[in-house]
Structure 1
């Protein structure tokens, strides 16, 4: 199924199954109710306009974001002058973020000094996962796949991390793609990774064309297993892949799309590469008026999840 959430009587909206330009409401009412095993009976068809949607899961029980693409972690830590521990290649990083998601067209508030950045990711939504689940059990718990823009405020993060207690101010609400799809809807889903080109445009120009199934050191079952090591995960847990990031074929840190590379899915990564190659970062972080577009297309070039398209505004 292709699922979306339209505005409804509560902040959790009204869950519908999408069929082209029509949709059918689910009897259970909301995405959280459906994930809890609620009645999936479909109602009568009605017109559907993708511009009307909320996030498919406006409020989740928890959002846990991993760092599957260790190339990204290595580059961003290098920008902060932080050493890359060897354990990061074997033990995934993960933080707990805000479990409220904005619509795919929500504005991104920004202030000078915040260092506002995009992070284009793939995310999964789980059913219930028992504490200590194996990767095989975790794989069976994946109910939906979608795209995610995990906003980062790079100017605020270093001071927060220096306290030794994680992100708060540096990680505002993330945006989800208009549609969340069950695994059977995705030919590029292999049970653990989504294979496809994540297309990121910045102000109308290609910025990122990374392959989501490449260089993903920790797949989704392993991220879920990591998250569930000491606690049960309730149905409606969102697990992010972390910023999708590819190395060059020669093992280098990646090149811009304009130079024949796969580009970047966050600005911080391009700035690090610029610093490595030229001694200084040239690409600015997002400012009011900038527009970010995130999409993934299927074999027929049609958008799989709908498009995340956001404009940066003054906070």
Structure 2
């Protein structure tokens, strides 16, 4: 089952009609509940009424707002590159103890909504997989937590790279450097999602920057912590309510020879964020060359099934300067 929330001009932060979408993303039917959150609360959903054309550009985020949004760094290779690029030692416990933060959840961006910001902030995208859960009890095991995963989505975790160092130096986490994220037009039920094995999503995440391939990264590889482990980590000291969203963090693959990865132009898989390409440039040539996003740039993030069909629809966003 695939679901979506249609954009409501009257209440953009809440969303409009909640619909069940056909597998080929061409038609939709009203759901038998008023909102995605209602369906997650009761842990049940079915379609009612007649099918109508599905206008994917009318989509808000599947959950336009959530009670809880967490983002992890499951691909520890990304963290290792960050440390290597600045000549810092990689703490050994980073490979066993997940990094995670709690982010903006009261208003997510739609998949086609512009990314607005000041270029001086170092605007970047991060292509990620995210899961949406049913309720998870405090102290749940990784197996129990994984069993509560209900839907899979794609996510662009917008990051303001030039604001991050000063915030982290305060020792109190992200606020200004992590604005609202955006999500794919549709969420896919875990039981029906191609490539989902119950703990990880296996497939090629496709990222284009200004129409050119930037990343063709493998989501099931180099994932140090699976979603069961991540959710259990989050639930250690708190229950997680139905509708919790947890992102994987930037997808990051090592090269086949164990190196930090190459651009697509060099025959590699590319990257899921600009920062990682800049880190590799610093490691290999001594300085970062690739600029962060500028007004007019366009980022597209999507995944395809074995037949080349879009699974989640695409996140397709243009960068606009603040007015």
* TM-score greater than 0.5 by the shorter chain: yes
Alignment of 1:273 onto 2:280: yes
Kept in 2: contact 1:126–1:143 (CA 8 A):
yes
Inter-CA distance 129–51: structure 2 relative to 1 (3 Å threshold): same
Tell me the TM-score normalized by structure 1: 0.97
Kept in 2: contact 1:68–1:241 (CA 8 A):
yes
SS at match of 1:191: coil
Q: Distance in 2 between matches of 1:28 and 1:120?
A: 30
- Give the deviation of 1:82 after TM superposition: 4.1
The answer for unaligned runs of 5 or more in structure 2 is: none
Match of 1:87 in 2: 93
Match of 1:24 in 2: 29
Match of 1:217 in 2: 224
Equivalent runs, 1:1-315 vs 2, <5 Å: 1-8=1-8, 10=11, 11-19=14-22, 20-37=25-42, 40-44=45-49, 45-99=51-105, 100-315=107-322
Q: Distance in 2 between matches of 1:32 and 1:194?
A: 23
SS at match of 1:101: coil
- Give the deviation of 1:187 after TM superposition: 2.8
Structure 1 stretches of 4+ with a deviation exceeding 4 A read: none
- Give the deviation of 1:32 after TM superposition: 0.4
SS at match of 1:113: helix
SS at match of 2:301: strand
Q: Distance in 2 between matches of 1:81 and 1:57?
A: 40
Kept in 1: contact 2:119–2:295 (CA 8 A):
no
Q: Distance in 2 between matches of 1:15 and 1:244?
A: 29
SS at match of 2:306: coil
- Give the deviation of 1:84 after TM superposition: 1.9
Q: Distance in 1 between matches of 2:80 and 2:242?
A: 32
- Give the deviation of 1:95 after TM superposition: 0.4
Inter-CA distance 86–25: structure 2 relative to 1 (3 Å threshold): same
**Aligned residues: CA RMSD:** 1.3
The answer for unaligned runs of 5 or more in structure 1 is: none
- Give the deviation of 1:203 after TM superposition: 0.6
Kept in 2: contact 1:113–1:155 (CA 8 A):
yes
- Give the deviation of 1:75 after TM superposition: 1.3
Inter-CA distance 212–39: structure 2 relative to 1 (3 Å threshold): closer
